[in-house]
Amino acid sequence: MQANRSRDTGPEIAVRKLLFARGLRYRVAFKAVKGERLTVDIAFPGQRVAVFIDGCFWHGCPQHHRLPKTHTDYWRDKIVRNTARDSRAGQTLEQAGWTVLRFWEHEDPSAVADHVSARLEDSRQTRPRQDSVSLQVND
């Protein structure tokens, strides 16, 4: 199992390339919440948007996940633990004020990039600007 990547997977890189081409800048393998052992695949810290690209096998995709024929009990328990960890990570991030977006590896990278871009645009429009300065002119 050590050969399985936790970051820089093919589907993740495909989405990142599309986001970068759109001028969006992000952090990879970002530790979003101090003191928590969770890593966001693609993070936009300014807008507090966390994007996860979940592998069908490791995260139990309802469409594509199939248990191996050997050591079935081990793998079933492993996938249940992974999905429970995913759920806890999402709740932790949401409680910290992040928006969590989860996608499966089999989803079209262009559609994922469209969804992420739209969500970032929404967060820009609804978020009040903190760097604006009010000037008063005395005549």
Per-domain boundaries in the chain: 10-126
**Per-residue confidence (pLDDT) for residue 3, from 0 to 100:** 65
Task: Specify the 3-state DSSP secondary structure of 10.
Answer: helix
Q: Two tokens at 70? A: 């050997």
Q: What is the pLDDT of residues 92-121, one digit of tens each?
A: 999 999 999 999 999 999 999 999 999 999
Q: What is the pTM of this model?
A: 0.85
**Per-residue confidence (pLDDT) for residue 132, from 0 to 100:** 47
Q: What is the pLDDT of residues 1-54, one digit of tens each?
A: 656 777 899 999 999 999 999 999 999 999 999 988 899 999 999 999 999 999
Domain boundaries 10-126, corresponding CATH code: 3.40.960.10
Q: How distant, in Å, are the alpha carbons of 14, 27, 115, 116 from that of 125?
A: 27, 21, 16, 14
